[in-house]
Structure 1
């Protein structure tokens, strides 16, 4: 489970104005559903969540914001690269749709070298064989 989610809601007074929030309830997350075609300062809300002591934080944002989070982490992860979310990835693994494993040291070095040139995931994902 997550402690919170960094999401964007619409301003009630100015519907085109995005407001990033640290959502802690189901209602707050549902309020953030839909698209807002304007830049949102979600990194500010992420820093607020971290300062509040949140450890497991879901982050919903545009690809440029997710790239910024990736650079902050220092690693290219499935969470940041997929933009779908860690929970969905884990559920797919748990249900057997995909198989995931941590990379060996020699594989990790190769991936890190590739990551300098392009964006890659740090997990080897392959389809599971039918029994």
Structure 2
């Protein structure tokens, strides 16, 4: 949980963040393709179903547990900045996830933080 995370934790490397993103994306893709195969969804045109599930999963998991499924697996957490003892709200997590989906964060950073973290008032740390 995010309440156990303190401000003295080191920032997560971009490599670890990208690995978490790959885990999240592949998991969401597998779920959506499974739903398509089971005829629950008609299809996954242009990967929009995967993208929608990614944004929802990432936002919900971040608000509830401090990180998406991929972040939990790679031992990375998202914490509030500057007060890491406060949980990340669902709104902040949704803003953060939507910006990740737009591919803005990896391209532009401010002070070593992705723009998604800057906009959401969060930072990404290793636990």
TM-score range (shorter-chain normalised) is 0.3 to 0.5
Q: Which has the larger radius of gyration?
A: 1
Which protein has greater RCO, CA pairs closer than 8 Å, 6+ apart?
A: 2
